[in-house]
Structure 1
Amino acid sequence: MSKAALQLFNERLPHKPYFSDDLHFGVRIAGKERAILAKYIQFNQPHAMFWLGFDVDRAGAAIDWSDRNAPAPTLTITNPENGHAHLLYALKTSIRTAPDGKMKPLRYAAAVENALRKKLEADAGYSGLICKNPNHEHWKIAVWQPELYTLNWLADFLDLNAANDKEIVADYGLGRNCTLFDKTRKWAYRAIRQGWPEYEQWLQACHERACAYNLQFSLPLDDNEVSGIAKSIAKWTSKNFDISSFKEFVQRTHTPEIQSKRGKIGGRISKGGGRRSLGEPWIELGVSRRTYFRMKNKSRD
């Protein structure tokens, strides 16, 4: 194995990775010096993804990516007993998975990840937390592509212009981060208006809701990731949503002129068949008709 590839792998390890010598006994966490001796190790940072990792459970997994016209992995880590392998793609720029990162790049990365998984026919149930440790003598290691990948370079192999390759699988890899963030924030936008709670109470509510959504995944996200997403949403909504700002929002986005334009556009699109009336803005805002007009009237006072 290339010394440069192994050095890159080790430099990018978390300071305290999860590790295991036998997956039947689960994983533990320790300093890098101890974890690097184990058969399995966490290979990405908690909030930054330096590698796209895939689990391919079939004989010949380390070489048959070429038969599928997939990009060459940076390295493959193979079980010599059955030919199954982890395929790792090193990224030039890490993908920030923390909720304070921008969602648009994360969605793009999730789409690339999922399309590449399908091309490789990799295991959709792989959590991506740990991989076979290339430092361990038990595994067979090979380096195929020494140059670091960009997401755009990987996308060139995947034809993301095809509609079915733009999808984000809600229960796989980076798709879980996108899904959990979207579901929790959409709930939060409505829920915060039901009483305008104090921040600590609101943070607890967001955390409980995010945990509930996370449990719907077959492979839930780490607790730290869930807490981070909940905290980001709680902070943003508490800062940007209050009674006065909501009044301003209603007044700014539902003027007679804007409503008239929406009505004309909606009329051209549907011709009145089977859609909700655009003259019912309280439905879009998630409040009752009575609450909408009460707050709108107060904003005129």
Structure 2
Amino acid sequence: MIEQFIDSLPEKVRCTDSFENGTKHRKKDKALSFPYIEHNQLYKKYIAIDIDTPGSAFLWEKHGLPPPTFIVVNPKNSHCHYLWQLRTPVIYTEGGRRKPQQFYENVDCSLTRSLPGADPAYVGKFIKNPLSAFWKTIRHNAEYDLEDFQEYIDTTPIRKRQNLVWDALGRNNTLFNNLRFWAYPTVKKYLNNHAGFISAVEEQAFEINSQFISRSDKGSLLHKEVLSTATSVSSYTWRNRYGDFRRKGIMQLPEDMPQKQKESLGACYTNKVRSQTVKEKIVQAVAELKAQGTPVTQTSVSIRAEISLPTIKRNWNELAQQFNLYA
């Protein structure tokens, strides 16, 4: 099992001895000496669960679950990571199929629900390295097909409905704003899987739209309107996926940095944030115009977004390529 674990890792592995010190890609042989490593996110060979409960090494047995291949125990507080090895990895590259991915995600969620103390927010990227002497590792000679877990848990997906923030301007704005704020953190889970992200955004868009039936006198939006908004959000979010959507307007600078340097960096950061906000307004305006069947022109976007025409013109080439406005 150890050999298979090592083989499942890429040639360069992101690792760290403490998350306060940040993470770094290192060659596999060196990375395996670190306490925390990122297991392969493109070919998922393991289902990883984080148990934040003391004395949880045998919690799986108490709740009638199959034995994890690795139980990696923190000797200081006896919290654990459970790792179940799969016979066949689930592919999350561009060519990966969504159905196996959804099955994997359903099993992951069901295992988490079945274990008291399991962290539902844990995304399974960084794991306690079972080869590190920093931890105590319990091993079982066990590997599984995803179908095997159906003997132990209910893998039926539970659809968690998003609590919508309603926009006074109507359903289109409500869909757009709720979808984009959902997409910003979600895109970080998809790495190079563009097609998987597009599919997830569309699924979430139609889930939000389904709530309009009971929450709006006008009912749900047309299929084309929803799809147009999903396309706009997924396109914009994917192109900006390496940005930090959650910390706009926040800048952490060293206290001993000279004041003039702080002011200069602050001004640059403020301009960057302002520019990002303007682009979001423009993208929203284009999405709404396309959804309503209104011709998308520089003038119509300027009026809809309430942004000056010269600003629209500066961003027009980028917009035209993003939304295929030349077609």
Return the TM-score normalized by structure 2: 0.54
Q: What letter corresponds to residue 288 of structure 1 in structure 2?
A: G
Q: 1:93 aligns with which of 74, 82, 88?
A: 88
Q: Which residue of 2 aligns with 1:208?
A: 239
Q: What letter corresponds to residue 113 of structure 2 in structure 1?
A: K
* Fraction of identical pairs, as percent: 22
Q: Which residue of 1 aligns with 2:138?
A: 142
Q: What letter corresponds to residue 43 of structure 1 in structure 2?
A: H
The CA deviation at 1:14 is: 1.6
User: Is structure 2 residue 146 aligned with structure 1 residue 151?
Assistant: yes
Q: 1:67 aligns with which of 62, 70, 82?
A: 62
C-alpha contact 1:20 1:40 (8 A) present in aligned 2: yes
User: Is structure 2 residue 225 aligned with structure 1 residue 190?
Assistant: no
Of structures 1 and 2, the one with the larger relative CO (CA 8 A, separation 6+) is 1
User: Is structure 2 residue 47 aligned with structure 1 residue 47?
Assistant: no
Task: Determine the C-alpha separation between the residues in 2 that align with 1:51 and 1:173.
Answer: 20
Farther-moved stretch of structure 1 (135-144 vs 98-107): 98-107
The CA deviation at 1:96 is: 1.1
Task: Determine the C-alpha separation between the residues in 1 that align with 2:150 and 2:47.
Answer: 13
Q: Which residue of 2 aligns with 1:127?
A: 123
Task: Determine the C-alpha separation between the residues in 1 that align with 2:104 and 2:187.
Answer: 7
The CA deviation at 1:125 is: 2.1
Q: Which residue of 1 aligns with 2:210?
A: none
Q: 1:39 to 1:176 in 2, by over 3 A?
A: closer
Task: Determine the C-alpha separation between the residues in 2 that align with 1:63 and 1:34.
Answer: 31
Farther-moved stretch of structure 1 (90-99 vs 176-185): 176-185
Moved over 3 A (4+): 165-181, 184-189, 191-194, 203-206, 208-212, 285-291
Task: Determine the C-alpha separation between the residues in 1 that align with 2:2 and 2:60.
Answer: 21
- Partner SS state of residue 107, structure 1: helix
Aligned 1:23-38 pairs, distance under 5 A: 23-38=19-34
**Superposition CA RMSD, Å:** 3.9
Aligned 1:1-301 pairs, distance under 5 A: 5-44=1-40, 46-121=41-116, 122-144=118-140, 146-161=141-156, 165-167=157-159, 177=190, 181-183=199-201, 189-190=227-228, 205=236, 207-208=238-239, 215=245, 286=291, 288=293
Q: Which residue of 1 aligns with 2:249?
A: none
- Partner SS state of residue 77, structure 1: strand
Q: Which residue of 1 aligns with 2:307?
A: none
Q: Unpaired runs of 5+ in structure 2?
A: 163-181, 191-195, 206-224, 247-289, 297-327
Q: Deviations over 1:5-50 (max 9, x none)?
A: 2222111112111101122212111111211111111122x31110
The CA deviation at 1:63 is: 0.8
Q: What letter corresponds to residue 238 of structure 2 in structure 1?
A: H
Task: Determine the C-alpha separation between the residues in 2 that align with 1:92 and 1:15.
Answer: 20
- Partner SS state of residue 12, structure 2: coil
C-alpha contact 1:55 1:87 (8 A) present in aligned 2: yes
Q: Unpaired runs of 5+ in structure 1?
A: 195-202, 217-284, 292-301
C-alpha contact 2:187 2:237 (8 A) present in aligned 1: no
Q: Deviations over 1:124-161 (max 9, x none)?
A: 122311111122112111113x2311110012211235
Q: 1:77 to 1:211 in 2, by over 3 A?
A: same
